[in-house]
Structure 1
Amino acid sequence: MTVSRSPKPGLSQAGPNGRPPGTVRERKHSGFAYQAVYRYLVSLINEVETEARVKLPSLRQLAERLNVSISTIQYAYSLLEKEGRVYSQAKSGYYALPVPGGSFVSGGADLLERIYVHSRRPGTLVLGNDEPALLLSLDNPLLLLERELVRQYPRQQQPQLQPFGEMELRAALAVRYTTSARRYWHADDVYIGADVRSVLETLMAALSLKHTTVLVESPCDWVILRLLQAGGVDVVELPLDPNGLFDLKRLEQVLQAQPVKLLLMSSGVNMPRGSLMPLEHRRQVARLMERFGVWLLENDSHGELAYQPDAVHMRDLVDPERLLVLAGFERFMGCEAPFGYLLSRHFGVELQRHFLLRSFRMSPTRQKAIARLYSSGRIDQHLGTLRRLLQERMLQMTQLLQERLSDSLDFVPPQGGATVWARARRAVDMRQVFEQLLEQKIVIAPGELFSLQGLHRDCLRLSGTSNSHRHLDLALGPLGNTLRLEFGA
């Protein structure tokens, strides 16, 4: 079955100037073209009334229908593909496979699995994602630069795949992270993998972290927590207080009582809290680490997304001989740059062995293109604009939360990133709120996702980029009503 429907009325009726007022071309000044294309495709998918696979319009058909470039259509499709709403088939095109109602996992399934599955339901408002690049990505410039590199360097002239990543990109990252004659990196200290998850898995294997003790700041990214758990690591969570601080006495007690191998914490802004730990407090943490000989594994995945770029990162405060840095590009560049990377001066033999065993298949041309974006200064220009857009969006979101939910939620305005971390003003289990909102096709991220030890049950993470401001406004009413009902339960 092929979807061949007339455009929505807003895309077809003529306006005062004789042209369709709803064409994507005309809406470029009020929003990004790919967002309009994305919403159009979602509406097509939601109209499908069969559980069989459904062929969607081709790139060229949609480009002509919506009056946008093929690359814009491609980006919108890539977002849907990442969400699991569509898939591509070579020489055939894109297909939608609506999720039938009976396929949803039961209430007893893992919370993360339920979030993933229900987020794919047609018409669902997803309020828990963390996708900063949805506001502004580098996907189109990256793909254009990649095509230019392919013309300059024909495939037969390209060198063999490099198991630790393309040397040009490794060198660019080494330069980016070098800040002094003491705090420097070489290209050989940089290892690139398919994504942040696979790089962390490789690092865990290389360092033999199974049955060792690793401290993590809490709340912590759920992917990292579950990877550590699956790897048999003894995870000790250090909760951040409302001001984004550790309990230093507790930290010292843990370091005295247990043979801690690593402290895993953010380079600056903690995600999902969006809080920035004060510099003097970070210095005290660094002194404790030095005193007890603990390594720092710095999570720099959101390090570029502080609204006011921090001049001092955690890595600048610890002994560089006991430092590892983990990060990736996707958060600020977009889904066309999924690679993760690791910086380490040590464990070279083991890291090389495990990266060789992984045999990552990564496009050298795509990596070269990312390196050129760094060397040309395009990354810094992009980050400046993205930070401004994120800050503006978060200001709008926090104002809306204050207006609509000030009686139900407490939150501190984020200092970076694309999400707000909020805590219920009265005792409530956000898992129950999550279950209630699923019935209204609203998906939140309960705080318990960000802990392995049952912390943050009265918290949730809200996204500022997943849906439009109007959709967020519509969703806050049901969220507030559900919270108030739970308060009275």
Structure 2
Amino acid sequence: MQKKSVQKYHLYQKIANGLELQIRNNVLAIGDKLPSLRDFCKLHGTSQTTAIKVYYELESKGLVETRPKSGYFVSGSLKRNPGLPKTSQPGTESSNMPIEVLLEKVYSNAGPVDIALSNAVVADELLPIAKLNKGLVQAMRELKGSGTAYGELQGNERLRRQLARQAFHMPELSHEDIITTSGCVNAISYALMALAKPGDTIAVESPVYFGILQLARSLGLKVMELPTHPQTGIEIDALKKALEANKIDLCLLISNFSNPLGSLMPDEHKKEVVRLIQQYNIPLIEDDIYGDIYFGTSRPNTCKTFDESGLILCCSSVSKTLAPGYRVGWLAPGKFKTEILRLKLFHSITSTNITQEVIANFLETGRYEHHLRKLRNTLHTNSLQYIRAINDYFPEGTKVSRPQGGIVLWVEFDQKIDTLKMYDQAIKRGISIAPGRLFTLQDQFSNCIRLNYGMSWNSKLEKGLRDLADIAGSLNHGS
């Protein structure tokens, strides 16, 4: 009996060592799907117990991971992974460099771009466009006036009901608590206009999505950038000190997979944020546009999940998951519903009814969750491929974020690498990147870039990352 146990141990260890060697030699690359337990048993002539032991052994070394309803995947290599970017330490003074000029430069579409790494969007080939097109035809048949008539001020009721049913992280939410908008930025703009007046100070993460910075400035608001950790989000102590000093009038946070860091605020931090804003009676606008693109076993909660005061306005859309151009967004405005509805009436009267009807049908039939499962797996694999390529090709000492969801990576180079110069050289090779200076109003992040991994991974994309590495290497050596 003892002899048989030893033989089993040697068998699973032998197979695990063989797979480990294949991963070491890149025969099995990051993101590759491994055989199911049943196929594994047939391939190696083993029992399921032995197969499980093999995968557990590889999981313990960080080489393999399981994904819900998808199986086992190669998740790492035996090479040392790049380090994490440091926690940001923003100051208080704004930079003299006008960010608007830089934005126009990066997003003016000047010159041909073969590899667009600057835009935080999912590529068309990863979206269910054919099914959405069928939905459009169906919506034209079913809606009054084939969709040309105005819809309700609060938004398409069918869509709002589906959104409430999908919001497992906000179980108390009903369709009456939701207002539809023309995308997530539109939802945020309504929230800012309802809650703040010119001269007020809004607290945000640092770095933060440049659209939020521009929107705040266009409304005459001051921006306080808070120290932010690349994995856990804003530093709670910094928020607490700002609230204690009465320095902020409003908070705006991306608690789930922030743009550009990809950070995920733990539930304990979310609960503390909610406690603090309730204590100081400061509203919070929560941008949850990336919440459905999670790589873990379940969707993360929002700060809104723990809100009992109505001070949190949660905003989202399908722009990052399903149909960017449909401009279908929404917000759960909490106690500010009346103010938001009034603003929507003044600014747009209603939202586009036909696209809302298409998305409502997509959610109602279960197609959305099916699409999301495939999309999450693809994006998770892409993120691992990017990190592997950065580790393989980029200059030594390069640091990269470890997003647990979303579609963007944050890369931090040595201080001597100016990513504005890097952008100029990259665009000549048909590659667009987003320089780090776009994501702050202060003089920081000039050695950082944001990369989008929302595309199909292929050899062309890998070559583009190698080209970026060449450019970074030349800048690192002062040429």
Whole-angstrom distance in 1 between the partners of 2:270 and 2:405: 17
1:170 aligns with 2:160: yes
Whole-angstrom distance in 2 between the partners of 1:109 and 1:354: 26
Quick check: 353-362 or 386-395, which moved more? 353-362
8 Å contact kept, 1:126–1:467: no
Match of 2:106 among 106, 112, 115: 115
Whole-angstrom distance in 1 between the partners of 2:199 and 2:147: 46
Quick check: 370-379 or 243-252, which moved more? 243-252
CA distance 1:226–1:366, shift in 2 (3 Å): same
What secondary structure, in the 3-state scheme, does the structure 1 residue paired with 2:320 have?
Answer: helix
Q: Deviations over 1:427-485 (max 9, x none)?
A: 43322222232333322111111112233222111122357532222223332232223
Q: Which amino acid aligns with 1:229?
A: R
What secondary structure, in the 3-state scheme, does the structure 2 residue paired with 1:192 have?
Answer: strand
Query: CA offset at residue 334 of structure 1?
Result: 2.2
Whole-angstrom distance in 1 between the partners of 2:387 and 2:142: 47
Quick check: 208-217 or 425-434, which moved more? 425-434
Whole-angstrom distance in 2 between the partners of 1:178 and 1:320: 19
Whole-angstrom distance in 2 between the partners of 1:279 and 1:196: 23
1:277 aligns with 2:265: yes
1:136 counterpart residue number? 126
**Taking structure 1 as the reference length, what is the TM-score of the superposition?**
0.71
8 Å contact kept, 2:255–2:265: no
2:141 counterpart residue number? 151
CA distance 1:276–1:156, shift in 2 (3 Å): closer
2:433 counterpart residue number? 444
8 Å contact kept, 2:413–2:447: yes
Whole-angstrom distance in 2 between the partners of 1:153 and 1:303: 30
Percent identical residues:
25
1:387 counterpart residue number? 376
What secondary structure, in the 3-state scheme, does the structure 1 residue paired with 2:173 have?
Answer: coil
Q: How does 1:242-281 map to 2 (within 5 A)?
A: 242-281=230-269
Q: Which amino acid aligns with 1:265?
A: L
8 Å contact kept, 2:126–2:456: no
Match of 1:222 among 203, 206, 210: 210
8 Å contact kept, 1:408–1:483: no
Query: CA offset at residue 282 of structure 1?
Result: 3.1
Match of 2:288 among 277, 300, 320: 300
> Bigger relative contact order, structure 1 or 2, given CA contacts below 8 A and separation 6+?
2
Whole-angstrom distance in 2 between the partners of 1:366 and 1:109: 31
Match of 1:186 among 161, 174, 179: 174
CA distance 1:467–1:457, shift in 2 (3 Å): farther
8 Å contact kept, 2:422–2:472: yes
Q: Deviations over 1:250-275 (max 9, x none)?
A: 22221112252322112422222122
CA distance 1:331–1:483, shift in 2 (3 Å): same
Task: Structure 1: give runs of 5+ residues left out of the alignment.
Answer: 1-106
Whole-angstrom distance in 2 between the partners of 1:153 and 1:477: 50
Say what the alpha-carbon RMSD is for the aligned residues.
Answer: 2.7
Whole-angstrom distance in 1 between the partners of 2:338 and 2:268: 36
Q: How does 1:21-420 map to 2 (within 5 A)?
A: 110-117=101-108, 119-132=109-122, 134=124, 136-153=126-143, 155=145, 160-177=150-167, 184-308=172-296, 309-359=298-348, 362-405=351-394, 407=396, 409-420=398-409
Whole-angstrom distance in 2 between the partners of 1:211 and 1:303: 31
CA distance 1:425–1:253, shift in 2 (3 Å): same
1:473 aligns with 2:426: no
8 Å contact kept, 1:297–1:325: yes
Whole-angstrom distance in 1 between the partners of 2:146 and 2:464: 53
8 Å contact kept, 1:125–1:442: yes
Whole-angstrom distance in 2 between the partners of 1:368 and 1:123: 34
Q: Which amino acid aligns with 2:244?
A: Q
What secondary structure, in the 3-state scheme, does the structure 2 residue paired with 1:420 have?
Answer: strand
Whole-angstrom distance in 1 between the partners of 2:115 and 2:146: 47
CA distance 1:159–1:208, shift in 2 (3 Å): same
Whole-angstrom distance in 2 between the partners of 1:123 and 1:433: 15
CA distance 1:389–1:257, shift in 2 (3 Å): same
Quick check: 451-460 or 470-479, which moved more? 470-479
Q: Deviations over 1:159-182 (max 9, x none)?
A: 6432332121122223333657xx
8 Å contact kept, 2:117–2:432: yes
Q: How does 1:14-25 map to 2 (within 5 A)?
A: none
Query: CA offset at residue 292 of structure 1?
Result: 2.1
Query: CA offset at residue 356 of structure 1?
Result: 0.9
8 Å contact kept, 1:139–1:337: no
CA distance 1:485–1:259, shift in 2 (3 Å): same
8 Å contact kept, 1:139–1:335: no
What secondary structure, in the 3-state scheme, does the structure 2 residue paired with 1:346 have?
Answer: helix
What secondary structure, in the 3-state scheme, does the structure 1 residue paired with 2:335 have?
Answer: coil
Number of residues of Structure 1 aligned to a counterpart in Structure 2: 380
What secondary structure, in the 3-state scheme, does the structure 2 residue paired with 1:132 have?
Answer: coil
What secondary structure, in the 3-state scheme, does the structure 2 residue paired with 1:325 have?
Answer: strand
Query: CA offset at residue 319 of structure 1?
Result: 3.3
Q: Which amino acid aligns with 2:250?
A: L
Q: Deviations over 1:408-437 (max 9, x none)?
A: 521133211222211013443322222232
Q: Which amino acid aligns with 1:402?
A: N
Whole-angstrom distance in 2 between the partners of 1:157 and 1:204: 30
What secondary structure, in the 3-state scheme, does the structure 1 residue paired with 2:360 have?
Answer: helix
Whole-angstrom distance in 1 between the partners of 2:150 and 2:424: 50
Q: Which amino acid aligns with 1:110?
A: V
Q: Which amino acid aligns with 2:154?
A: F
Whole-angstrom distance in 1 between the partners of 2:288 and 2:432: 27
Q: Which runs of 4+ in 1 moved over 6 A?
A: 156-159
8 Å contact kept, 1:133–1:333: no
Whole-angstrom distance in 2 between the partners of 1:426 and 1:158: 54
Q: Deviations over 1:171-199 (max 9, x none)?
A: 2223333657xx52333322222222333
Q: Which amino acid aligns with 2:103?
A: L
CA distance 1:201–1:409, shift in 2 (3 Å): same
What secondary structure, in the 3-state scheme, does the structure 2 residue paired with 1:319 have?
Answer: coil
Task: Structure 2: give runs of 5+ residues left out of the alignment.
Answer: 1-97
Query: CA offset at residue 406 of structure 1?
Result: 5.2
**Taking structure 2 as the reference length, what is the TM-score of the superposition?**
0.72
Whole-angstrom distance in 1 between the partners of 2:149 and 2:461: 48
Q: Deviations over 1:188-225 (max 9, x none)?
A: 32222222233322332222442222111122111111
Whole-angstrom distance in 2 between the partners of 1:108 and 1:299: 22
CA distance 1:329–1:230, shift in 2 (3 Å): same
